[in-house]
Copies of this chain bind each other. A is one copy, B any other.
Amino acid sequence: MTNELVWDRPEPPSRPSPTPLSRALIVRTAIELADAGGLDEVSLRKVAAALNAGPMRLYGYIETKDELLDLMVDEVYGEITPPDPAADWRTGLRHIAHEIRNATKRHEWLIDLIGGRPNRGPNSLAFMESTLATVGFESIDEVMSAVGAVMAYVYGAVRNEITEIRAERSTGLTEEQWQRASGPYIERMLATGRYPTLARFIYDGSHPDPAQVFDRGLDYVLEGIATRHSPGSKRGG
Contact = CB atoms under 8 A, between A and B. Distances in A.
Interface of A: 112, 115-118, 120, 122, 125-126, 128-129, 132-133, 140-141, 143-146, 148-149, 151-157, 159-160, 163-164, 166-167, 185-186, 189, 194-198, 200-201, 204-206, 208, 213, 216-217, 219-225, 227-228
27 contacts: A115-B159, A117-B163, A117-B166, A120-B185, A120-B186, A120-B189, A125-B198, A132-B201, A148-B213, A148-B217, A149-B157, A149-B217, A152-B153, A152-B155, A152-B159, A153-B153, A154-B156, A156-B159, A220-B224, A220-B228, A221-B221, A222-B224, A223-B223, A223-B224, A223-B227, A224-B225, A227-B227
Given A125-B198, A141-B205, A198-B125, A167 B118 contact: yes
Contacts of A222: 224
Contact of A151 (B156, B200, B213, B228): B156
A226 to B, nearest CB: 8
A219 B64 CA distance: 40
Given A128-B195, A224-B223, A156 B163 contact: no
Best-buried of A198, A200, A220 by chain B (most CB within 10 Å): A220
B189 A125 contact: yes
A194 B133 CA distance: 12
Query: Chain copies in the assembly?
Result: 2
A129 B197 contact: yes
Contacts of A140: 200-201, 204-206
B148 A157 contact: yes
A204 B224 CA distance: 25
B219 A117 contact: no
A223 B148 CA distance: 16
A122 B153 contact: no
A167 B117 contact: yes
Best-buried of A140, A196, A222 by chain B (most CB within 10 Å): A140
Q: Which 4 A-B pairs have the closest CB atoms?
A: A152-B156, A220-B224, A224-B224, A149-B217
Contact of A206 (B128, B141, B154, B200): B141
B223 A132 contact: no
